[in-house]
Amino acid sequence: MPVRFQLNGVLIEEDDVSPSMTVLDYLREMKGLKGTKEGCAEGDCGACTIAIQSALGRVKSVNACLMLVPQLDGMSVTTVEGLSGPDEAIHPVQQAIVDHHAAQCGFCTPGFVMALHAFTQTGEALTYDSVHEAIAGNLCRCTGYRPIVDAAVSLGSKAEKLIPPAIEQTDYYTDGNEDFFAPRSLDQLVALKSEHPDAFILAGGTDLGMRASKDRQPYGQVISTANVMELNQIERDESSVMFGAAVNYTRALPMLEEIAPSFALLVRRIGSRQIRNLGTIGGNICNASPIGDTPPCLIALDAVMIAHGSSGRREISADDFFTDYRKTALGPDEILEAIRIPVPSPDLIFRAYKVSKRFDQDISAVVGAYALKIENGIVASVRIAFGGMAATPARAPACEAALMGRSWSMETAMVAGVALSEDFTPLTDFRASQDYRTRVASNLLQRLYLDTTQPDVPVEVMAL
Amino acid sequence: MSTADRMDQIKGAVHTAVRHDSAENHVTGRSVFIDDMPNVPGTLHGALVKSPYAHARIQSIDVSAARDLPGVHAVLVAADIPGRNDVAPIFEGEPILAEGLVEYIGHPVAAIAAETMDIARAAEALVVIDYVELEPVLSIDDALNRKSFTSPPQIMRRGNSIQGMADAPHQISGEVRCGGQDHFYLETHIALAVPQEDNDMLVYSSTQHPTEVQHGVATVLGVPVNAVTTEIRRMGGGFGGKESQSTIIAALAALMAAKTRKPVKLRLSRDDDMVITGKRHDFLFRYQVGFDDNGRIEGIDILMACRAGNVADLSSSVLIRALCHADNAYYLPNAHIHGYPCKTNTVSNTGFRGFGGPQGMVAIETVIDHIARDLGKDPDDVRRANFYDKADRDTTHYGQKVEDNIIMEMVDSLSREIDYPARKKAVAAFNQENTVLKKGIALMPVKFGISFNLPTLNQAGALVHVYTDGSVHLNHGGTEMGQGLYIKVAQVVASTFQIDIDQVKISSTNTAKVPNTSATAASSGSDLNGMAAHDAATQIKARMAGVAADHFEVEESEIEFRNNRIYARNDSISFAELAQLTWENRVSLSATGFYSTPKIGWDNDTMTGRPFYYFSYGACVSEVVIDTLTGENRVLRTDILQDCGRSLNPAIDLGQIEGAFVQGMGWLTMEELWWDEKGALRTHGPSTYKIPGSRDVPPEFNIHILEDAPNREPTIFRSKAIGEPPLMLALSVWLALRDAVAAVGGPRCVPNLDTPATAEAVLRAVDDARSRAHGG
């Protein structure tokens, strides 16, 4: 079956494009749509931003450089060329950029236009804060952003909502050399994984996509989880929330806000809007990167990973999931089906702190996640986990021991901070030195103390 | 230039906020960058084989496996170059492909042309090169110790700095470092070379310097300059990174095109762009200074050592500009400023907006800050004590009289506008109340010299045609990289002819139309090209006036061009009618214009003269907050007052001010070039090298363009250059961070804060300040 999608209003069927071709290359080289630019090929500059929409979904900004052509199956795709009206009339987002002198060299401009177009489709209020979040994935080196943000805020929320057509999707695509499987059900997914244990499991592709965009390597076989119904569910009962492994960050955010606002704040700093529209918590976990942002939170919150293989389902605690540098406890025939997070009790204090060079869209030097209960001034329970401090996201047992049963004071926090040096010997790299990681991880305990005991005193620069 | 003094009625006159000429094309994706040009069938794609060693001898190169890969058309090494393997902009010996020796990680060794980019990149790994590793020099300190330089040290001297320091009541010394900066233009380096008849070569190059590309390609191909044409419509950002570096890329593309006789496109991936091409120079400064009780400098010695990288490129010029801005806005009575372009086994650094000026200012502002904190004074009082006066203390350490000094008035005006004293008190009060978060506030004055330091470069040409329907074709030697040069020069031509700007067709910069141009650099684009275009238009206008005078039977002095018409007493005709009439009378409607900046001169032996036609001024106050637990920091508010002379286009100038400030802020805070112990750059993409995003811009960001401030020199419509000067206003952010760190250390704490002031650097400075306060 070919992949079918609508491109700027025209239905397209493709049956001989390599499944390893990026959407960016496809648009530029095969369709002659040169408005979409390559600035970095790693999903960090936003010059390749386009808008996609599934039949039932909302409009999403995504990085065309990180997407593979079969991921467009069933989508309505809009590029900067498709925004103008039938009479070539300039779109209101475009007009606002023009009116505010918000384009200089113009290379980043189509990406900003598309990010803002997608943003106006979400129905969110256009405030300075929300606009920053919407364009955090778009870099401009000329303007200093002020006119772009002003242009966005001037738009107001009066965008006409687009209704996409329903387009039949395929569950298998091949160009004769490479295979792209898009199973619909968990059973099909598990069967495909046992049949093709070496196939790449593609969730959002925001990390895996770099194999095509930067390394220029074919994939051979890809199994996409995007259309697996069971993996796209979010279910809540009294004691826990279950996130299907293919739920992207943007969809997960409202539920995370409900159960753990500090976790949600951290997730808003993962990648950019474009990345979060594709990237999934499941992907973040299965990558098992030592600097992934969600794993420390999941460990601190005592989450459980639901693995599914040919012999059925099993549960793995987040503590035990990350076995080594970029290695997980999943067996060769297993996939991650879901993540179950216990709903924190009202007396559980949960905080997540991320330290990086840039507030938005940066990879952490250190992430600390803290879940603790204070009863009568005494630390009654505690789970603390860090990212960026070891080869895997990991708990901090010595630090926890220094807290457990002690009175919750600045002195205790400082002692617990010092105890971290027994837990971790971090590396020096281009994000941070060993000294800095050690020192910050320790100091964050002091922030935690102040944050949890003196809510009126600002303890983070973003609070001002 | 009488038209400038009257309110123009035409659309798009000078001094009005006309939109960028490409604004609508940019937002609709219709603007064509080089990679967007339609593919000519048969076009090949280039890739480069790069050295994995910082310093190594090449024993042998075996390209056979790469050459045999299906789809590969050529694998070229230095020996394949028909002409000279040298594109040095100032000195000699800067090959486009390494010859026998690689000198940095990323040094191109071979160029591959293949049918697709993927094939070309796949072939990279098939080139077998046998290296013998040599010991690399990787740091400024190491190079300085070994006296390893790319060109001779440069020394500026006035009076007797040793005596001046010795006689002063106070002496201090110190050291500070500032980091480099990647340009991170959104469009990476690209060139498309298309072979023509007779071995001619047409090169589309994303370059700020089409003439140098033309020369470099001719040199490498061994053909005369007239066999090469360079064209560029627009760059996706330049910032100095495409002044000399684009010649390397264009020459490589042209070499492959010449060898294969096919068009070759060489577009660098972001990683290759950041690894292969040069950046802003990082510097090490060591200073000694003597001063009086008011902090007034009596003698100063500053060592400025920059990382030139493996070859000289523009480093000697960057260094001169750094030396020339060691004063910023301050009078240095006895000064010894000595610069060293350090040769290291890292990529050759190059021009970047400010071109050494910002780095020179980091040195002197550190000195001022140090003096103030040493004396327990407000740094702004020390600044005022040292500002150039309007008489006596008014000559720079390189001998140029500062004739247009307005720095004190600007600082006073900005301070009043923002109630600076009250803001300082509020910051102090905040710091009293808060232990974890600390605020800082600081003022940065800027005096920046306008003109290329080398007088020869201060010239420009233009070509203007008027067609018989009254429409105008405009061409000049300046290039468009987003800064709005094309629209500014079009405004000049529209105003000169007194016609609407939509009658003026802006055209791509092309070496066949206007030859022997200088780079669009040194903020000089509109000063030079605006004047050249004005000259061309004025010549044509005079000829047309003659035709009109004959036609109306009046004196030429009675002819007036106004609002798209030509008036003579009570009669008038349209500009188009007069154009037709001029043609009918067999009078030329085409002219070349030329401009060379007057008054300037420079003696490179004594390092004295008047290198700058005039100075541009600015003042800026920034307020920041730091987290003393993590070093995280943020700018809360910035207020700017910038001198634009009589702005040619206030909207464009505002964009330049904002963009330059944010770029400077990135340089000084979060942008960190991180090299590993082998000399490999490990921050070579936006996932690892962080430039500011929209949320990093000060949430309160007020910019005022100085009003009623025509340039005292007769520049184009009395405007001033704007490209670079506002970048240095961002030093206010770094000075405010120092101020916040000092608040941790208490009275007389002199912070140790180099740039970039990343969270890590700030925390280190905080810990250092704290430890000195508690027992240090």
Neighbours of A196 (CB within 10 A): 16
Query: A105 vs B686: CB contact, 8 Å cut-off?
Result: no
Query: Is A439 part of the contact surface with chain B (CB cutoff 8 Å)?
Result: yes
The pLDDT value given to residue A162: 76
The pLDDT value given to residue B39: 86
* Average pLDDT across chain B, whole number: 97
* Domain-wise residue ranges, chain B: 2-30+459-596, 43-135+183-276, 137-176+283-398, 403-451+613-776
* Average pLDDT across chain A, whole number: 96
* Residue from B116, B186, B647, B662 whose CB has the most chain A CBs within 10 Å, to mutate: B186
A166-197 pLDDT per residue, tens: 999 999 999 999 999 999 999 999 999 999 99
Which chain B residue is nearest to residue A450, measuring alpha carbons?
B436
When CB atoms are compared, the residue of B31, B482, B672 closest to A142 is B482
Give the residue among B747, B775, B743, B302 at the shortest CA–CA distance from B765. B743
Q: Is the peptide bond before A397 cis (omega within 30 degrees of 0)?
A: no
pLDDT surpasses 70 at A158: no
The pLDDT value given to residue A344: 97
When CB atoms are compared, the residue of B186, B676, B695 closest to A139 is B186
How far apart are alpha carbons A182 and A117 in whole angstroms? 28
Strand B44-50 relative to strand B283-291, pairing: unpaired
Query: Is A291 part of the contact surface with chain B (CB cutoff 8 Å)?
Result: no
Q: To the nearest whole angstrom, how far is the Cα of B676 from the nearest Cα of chain A? A: 8
What strands lie across the sheet with B614-627, from one edge to the other?
B437-450, B614-627, B633-642, B700-705
Neighbours of B651 (CB within 10 A): 18
Query: Is B687 part of the contact surface with chain A (CB cutoff 8 Å)?
Result: yes
Query: A360 vs B695: CB contact, 8 Å cut-off?
Result: yes
* Domain-wise residue ranges, chain A: 3-154, 172-230, 348-354+362-456
Query: A436 vs B694: CB contact, 8 Å cut-off?
Result: no
Query: Is A38 part of the contact surface with chain B (CB cutoff 8 Å)?
Result: yes
Mean pLDDT (whole number) for B127-138: 98
Query: Is B627 part of the contact surface with chain A (CB cutoff 8 Å)?
Result: yes
DSSP run (H or E) holding B744: helix B731-745
pLDDT surpasses 60 at B192: yes
B311-340 pLDDT per residue, tens: 999 999 999 999 999 999 999 999 999 999
B665-714 pLDDT per residue, tens: 999 999 999 999 999 999 999 999 999 999 999 999 999 999 999 999 99
Give the residue among B206, B243, B160 at the shortest CA–CA distance from B517. B243
pLDDT surpasses 80 at B188: yes
Q: Is B137-176+283-398 in the same CATH topology as B43-135+183-276?
A: yes
Chain B residues within an 8 Å CB radius of A362: 690
Which chain B residue is nearest to residue A39, measuring alpha carbons?
B186
When CB atoms are compared, the residue of B237, B239, B693 closest to A107 is B237
How far apart are alpha carbons A263 and A351 in whole angstroms? 7
When CB atoms are compared, the residue of B23, B186, B661 closest to A141 is B186
For the domain spanning B403-451+613-776, the CATH number is 3.30.365.10
The pLDDT value given to residue B1: 40
For the domain spanning A172-230, the CATH number is 3.30.43.10
A356-391 pLDDT per residue, tens: 999 999 999 999 999 999 999 999 999 999 999 999
DSSP run (H or E) holding B602: strand B601-603
| Residue numbers of A between 93 and 132 with CB closer than 8 Å to B | 93-95, 97-98, 101, 103-110, 113, 128, 131-132
Query: B236 vs A45: CB contact, 8 Å cut-off?
Result: no
Query: Is B682 part of the contact surface with chain A (CB cutoff 8 Å)?
Result: yes
Query: A94 vs B118: CB contact, 8 Å cut-off?
Result: no
One-character DSSP codes across A378-416? EEEEEEEEEESSSSS-EE-HHHHHHHTTSB-SHHHHHHH
CATH topology of domain A348-354+362-456: Enolase-like; domain 1 (3.30.390)
One-character DSSP codes across A37-103? --S-SSSSS-TTEEEEE-SSS--EEEEGGG-BGGGGTT-EEE-GGGSS-TT-PPPHHHHHHHHTT--
In the numeric block, which tokens belong to residue A109?
């401009």
Query: Is B82 part of the contact surface with chain A (CB cutoff 8 Å)?
Result: no
Mean pLDDT (whole number) for B524-547: 98
Side-chain-side CA neighbours of A288 within 13 Å: the count stands at 18
pLDDT surpasses 80 at B77: yes
Q: How far is CA A339 from CA A192, A236, A456, in A?
A: 21, 12, 34
Q: To the nearest whole angstrom, how far is the Cα of A247 from the nearest Cα of chain B? A: 24
Query: Is B434 part of the contact surface with chain A (CB cutoff 8 Å)?
Result: yes
- CA A99 to chain CA mean position, Å: 33
* Residue from B16, B18, B22, B28 whose CB has the most chain A CBs within 10 Å, to mutate: B28
Q: Is B409 exposed, middle or buried (0-12, 13-18, 19+ CB in 10 A)?
A: middle
Chain B residues within an 8 Å CB radius of A103: 20, 22-23, 26-27
The pLDDT value given to residue B2: 44
Side-chain-side CA neighbours of B373 within 13 Å: the count stands at 24
pLDDT surpasses 50 at A408: yes
How far apart are alpha carbons A230 and A240 in whole angstroms? 17
Which chain A residue is nearest to residue B667, measuring alpha carbons?
A141
Model-level ipTM above the cut of 0.90: yes
CATH architecture type of domain B43-135+183-276: 2-Layer Sandwich (3.30)
Chain A residues within an 8 Å CB radius of B29: 33-36, 79-81, 110, 113
* Residue from A29, A40, A445, A454 whose CB has the most chain B CBs within 10 Å, to mutate: A40
Q: To the nearest whole angstrom, how far is the Cα of B42 from the nearest Cα of chain A? A: 14
Mean pLDDT (whole number) for B539-557: 98
The pLDDT value given to residue B775: 64
A115-153 pLDDT per residue, tens: 999 999 988 888 999 999 999 999 999 999 999 999 999
Residue B636: what residue type?
Answer: L
- CA B329 to chain CA mean position, Å: 20
For the domain spanning B2-30+459-596, the CATH number is 3.30.365.10
Torsion of the alpha carbons at B34, B36, B42 and B44, rounded to the nearest 10: 50
Q: Is B674 exposed, middle or buried (0-12, 13-18, 19+ CB in 10 A)?
A: middle
* The domain made up of A3-154 is a member of CATH 3.30.590.10: no
pLDDT surpasses 50 at A42: yes
| pTM > 0.80: yes or no | yes
Query: B654 vs A97: CB contact, 8 Å cut-off?
Result: no
Going by pLDDT thresholds of 50, 70 and 90, the confidence category of residue B3 is: very low
| Residue numbers of B between 157 and 196 with CB closer than 8 Å to A | 183-188
Query: B24 vs A358: CB contact, 8 Å cut-off?
Result: no
Which chain B residue is nearest to residue A451, measuring alpha carbons?
B436
* Residue from B649, B694, B701 whose CB has the most chain A CBs within 10 Å, to mutate: B694
Chain A residues within an 8 Å CB radius of B636: 464
* Residue from A101, A177, A360, A433 whose CB has the most chain B CBs within 10 Å, to mutate: A101
B517-527 pLDDT per residue, tens: 999 999 999 99
Query: Is A460 part of the contact surface with chain B (CB cutoff 8 Å)?
Result: yes
Q: To the nearest whole angstrom, how far is the Cα of B56 from the nearest Cα of chain A? A: 25
Q: To the nearest whole angstrom, how far is the Cα of B39 from the nearest Cα of chain A? A: 9
Query: Is A150 part of the contact surface with chain B (CB cutoff 8 Å)?
Result: no
The pLDDT value given to residue B584: 98
Which chain A residue is nearest to residue B669, measuring alpha carbons?
A357
B152-177 pLDDT per residue, tens: 999 999 999 999 999 999 999 999 99
| Inter-chain Cβ pairs, chain A and chain B, closer than 8 A | 258
Chain A residues within an 8 Å CB radius of B28: 35, 80-81, 83-84, 90, 94
Q: Give the torsion sign (CA, A254, A258, A261, A266).
A: negative
Query: B764 vs A113: CB contact, 8 Å cut-off?
Result: no
Chain B residues within an 8 Å CB radius of A388: none
Side-chain-side CA neighbours of A405 within 13 Å: the count stands at 2
Going by pLDDT thresholds of 50, 70 and 90, the confidence category of residue A338 is: very high
Query: Is A78 part of the contact surface with chain B (CB cutoff 8 Å)?
Result: no
Chain B residues within an 8 Å CB radius of A109: 26-27
When CB atoms are compared, the residue of B20, B25, B239 closest to A101 is B20
Could you give the residue numbers annotated as active site of B?
724
CATH topology of domain B137-176+283-398: Aldehyde Oxidoreductase; domain 4 (3.30.365)
Mean pLDDT (whole number) for A43-55: 96
How far apart are alpha carbons B472 and B480 in whole angstroms? 19
The stretches of B284-406 forming alpha helices (DSSP H) are 315-324, 357-375, 379-386
Q: Give the torsion sign (CA, A246, A250, A254, A259).
A: positive
- What proportion of chain B, given as a percentage, has pLDDT over 90? 98
Neighbours of B177 (CB within 10 A): 16
Pick left, alpha or beta for residue A176 (phi over 0 → left; psi -120 to 50 → alpha; otherwise beta). left
The pLDDT value given to residue A256: 98
